[in-house]
Amino acid sequence: MSSAAIDRRRVQQNFTRAAAGYEDFAIAQREIARRMFERLDPVRLDPARILDLGCGTGASLAALHERYPRAQLIGADLTPAMLDRARRAQTRHAWLLPFLRRARASLLAADASALPLARGSVGFVWSNLMLHWLDDPRPAFAEAHRVLENGGLLQFSTFGPDTLKELRAACAGLPGHADSHTHRFIDMHDLGDMLVAAGFADPVLDMEVLTLTYASTEDLLRDLRAGGGCALRGRQRGLSSRAAGERFVAACERLRQDGRLPATLEVIYGHAWRAEPKQTADGRAIIKFR
């Protein structure tokens, strides 16, 4: 089994530890969500039910309600501790504005590849920076397709292959393969092929590069841990020796630009529609007479 494979149990453990302070460090997540909403501006959509897949602490739920005030909101996440933070946030803000009680989302602890929702029960699936925490996103795409109604929309963001390329370069000389220290991310074109294979129509994907900068290696690693850390099956638990740690810091220091340490994020944005089916489950063609 590849050391670069994502371990579902470790993802859950990492986010359980990170949940309490997640919102303090989720700057990139909030900015990418804002850019996802900008991409929705030209899209005509009036969903009755919205699923926030990988909702985390629920940061996108309020914005989804603001854009689609008549829609029922559902938040699903693998980690109960993250959902608990989302639940606390809803309770904390409910007394301020009574209408928020009507916007309260249903929160579900669920695996993206096995959703406890009926076929065709959702009009819009939104997923911000969740897919790269899956070892294989194809089952999640298949589930999103299953729960979407005909004409429903999937919109997502995820990270592409150049994400954290500086960290990967710094890890290249450490004991063990670099893949055991850093995640690998899926190419945009491969994601498009997966969407088509899952049955989606008219997938549209685009990419942009964001660069975060840090004063120190310690600050960079703190942000990574706060955002979920490393969840690889063959991950190295820390650096194997003081000498390895010093080599890693020295390698990071050589990457400084204008006195700051860069961290590249290749952000992939995608959306695709669940089209009207052309055949029945047993393979018979569907012909409509108007």
List pLDDT tens digits, range 83-108. 999 999 887 755 454 544 445 799 99
List pLDDT tens digits, range 131-154. 999 999 999 999 999 999 999 999
The verdict on domain 8-160+186-209+267-273 having CATH code 3.40.50.150 is yes
What pLDDT does residue 232 have? 82
80 pLDDT exceeds 80? yes
Domain ranges of the chain: 8-160+186-209+267-273
In this prediction, residue 230 has a pLDDT band, given cuts at 50, 70 and 90, of: confident
H or E stretch at 85:
helix 80-94
Q: Residue 203 to residues 40, 133, 154, 243, 244: CA-CA distances in angstroms?
A: 14, 21, 9, 48, 44
Average pLDDT over residues 23-52: 95
The proportion of the chain whose per-residue pLDDT surpasses 70, expressed as a percent, equals 83
Distance of CA 176 to the CA centre of its chain: 28
pTM of the model: 0.88
165 pLDDT exceeds 80? yes
What pLDDT does residue 181 have? 57
Residue 279, judged by CB atoms within 10 A of its CB (0-12, 13-18, 19+), counts as exposed
Amino acid at 236: Q
Is 85 in contact with 58 (CB distance < 8 Å)?
Answer: yes
Where does residue 150 fall: left (phi above 0), alpha (psi -120 to 50 degrees), or beta otherwise?
A: beta
Distance CA 228, CA 272 (A): 27
Distance CA 243, CA 272 (A): 48
In this prediction, residue 241 has a pLDDT band, given cuts at 50, 70 and 90, of: low
- Cβ neighbors of 52 (< 8 A, separation 6 or more) are 58, 60, 61, 64, 73, 74, 75, 76, 105, 126, 127, 128
The single-letter DSSP state of residue 20 is G
Q: Which of the pair, 3 or 288, is modelled with greater confidence?
A: 288
Is 125 in contact with 147 (CB distance < 8 Å)?
Answer: yes
281 pLDDT exceeds 80? no
Q: Which of the pair, 179 or 190, is modelled with greater confidence?
A: 190
Mean pLDDT, the chain, rounded, equals 87
The proportion of the chain whose per-residue pLDDT surpasses 90, expressed as a percent, equals 68
Q: At how many degrees (to 10) do helices 217-226 and 242-253 cross?
A: 100
Which residue from 229, 209, 164 is spatially nearest to 6, judged by alpha carbons? 229
H or E stretch at 186:
none
Q: Which of the pair, 177 or 16, is modelled with greater confidence?
A: 16
Distance CA 49, CA 75 (A): 11
Q: Which of the pair, 225 or 4, is modelled with greater confidence?
A: 225
In this prediction, residue 252 has a pLDDT band, given cuts at 50, 70 and 90, of: confident
